[in-house]
Amino acid sequence: MTTDWRSRKGPIGMLTGAGISTDSGIPDFRGPKGVWTKDPIAELLSTYQNYVADPELRVRSWLARRDNPSRHAEPNAAHKALAELEHSGRAVRIITQNIDRLHQKGGSTPRKVIEIHGNMADVVCIQCTYRTTMDEALERVAAGEPDPACPACGDILKAATIMFGQNLDAETLWQAEQVAENSAIFLAIGTSLQVQPAASMCEVAVANGADLVIVNNEETPYDHLASEVIRDPIGEAVPRIVAELVAAGTAAAEESAR
């Protein structure tokens, strides 16, 4: 690892968690004001087995999806800064634990964003390949179907998210591992790094020679591996980091051109 990670050339990988979206009005999960901190039962209700077995829970879940603040949230300064870094010419890939699609809304190229926990914009059937948009499913709820069934096979519909009790998509996980393995700089932004296997991407990156930079307001299990830990507010820290990386890249390009 280098003493000045900002000057390193090569791909920049990122792992983003709920903390990057709090400035967009979406609460995190495990922070002091997090969804699960304030209501521990909410975490228990996020399990796949409960969802499939309990029709009343599914009715509650559809109402919660309707009212979820992420449906109408807008990207904040941190999301936009990461898109600017990509568009500056740096090789950037984002692994996100978030399901809010704010990276894409903020300008990041969709194919460069790996949604390791799925997304809330789509709805899938648990049995067949039927897929639709959340907006379309919620229109059915508003029209009087409290627990809309799959129109193709009649089975249960759910958000295209990975719930507790579900396995991550193997191809998506492989893509994330490739990003971590091939990064020169790996930024972990707004994540408690307590959820596996996403958090282990930090260890994978460091093992393959990356400088790990953690941007989070609380300690994480991986702080000891980091080249730098930044506790500043994410909305301030990320635009500053991006500006430093862009400036370092510009300086390197000018030096090589001489």
Which tens digits make up the pLDDT trace of 82-100?
999 999 999 999 999 999 9
Residue-wise pLDDT for 42-62, tens only, equals 666 678 999 999 999 999 999
Is residue 185 in some structural domain?
yes
Cβ proximity of 19 and 31 under 8 Å: yes
Which residues make beta-bridge pairs with 250? none
Is residue 138 in some structural domain?
yes
Q: Are residues 59 and 80 in the same domain?
A: no
Is residue 32 in some structural domain?
no
Q: Are residues 126 and 21 in the same domain?
A: no
Q: Are residues 208 and 93 in the same domain?
A: yes
Tell me: pLDDT of 159 over 70.
yes
What is the pLDDT at residue 105?
Answer: 96
Say which CATH number the domain at 46 has: 3.30.1600.10
Which pair of structure tokens corresponds to residue 230? Answer: 């930044």
Q: Which residues contact 19 (CB under 8 A, 6 or more apart)?
A: 28, 31, 189, 190, 191, 192, 216, 217, 234
Q: Are residues 62 and 174 in the same domain?
A: no
What is the pLDDT at residue 68?
Answer: 86
Residue-wise pLDDT for 31-46, tens only, equals 555 555 455 556 666 7
Cβ proximity of 145 and 138 under 8 Å: no
Domain closes at, from 161, 179, 214: 161
Please identify which of the residues 72, 87, 117, 224 carries the catalytic annotation: 117
Q: Are residues 198 and 85 in the same domain?
A: yes
Is residue 33 in some structural domain?
no
Average pLDDT over residues 130-137: 97
Q: How many domains does the chain have?
A: 2
Which residues make beta-bridge pairs with 213? 187, 228
Q: Are residues 63 and 80 in the same domain?
A: no
Q: Which domain holds residue 68?
A: 38-72+121-161
Q: Are residues 240 and 183 in the same domain?
A: yes
Q: Are residues 137 and 234 in the same domain?
A: no
In three-state form (DSSP H/G/I as H, E/B as E, the rest C), the secondary structure along the chain is CCCCHHHCCCCEEEEECHHHHHHHCCCCCCCCCCHHHHCHHHHHCCEHHHHHHCHHHHHHHHHHHHHCHHHCCCCCHHHHHHHHHHHCCCCEEEEECCCCCHHHHCCCCHHHEEECCEEEEEEEECCCCCEEEHHHHHHHHHCCCCCCECCCCCCEEEEEECCECCCCCHHHHHHHHHHHHCCCEEEEECCCCCCCCCCCHHHHHHHCCCEEEEECCCCCCCHHHCCEEECCCHHHHHHHHHHHHHHHHHHHHHHHHC
Is residue 31 in some structural domain?
no
222 phi-psi bin (left φ>0, alpha ψ -120 to 50, beta other): alpha
Q: Are residues 18 and 45 in the same domain?
A: no
Nearest one of 78, 119, 80 to 98, comparing CA atoms: 119
The one-letter code for the residue type at 257 is A
Say whether 87 is catalytic.
Answer: no
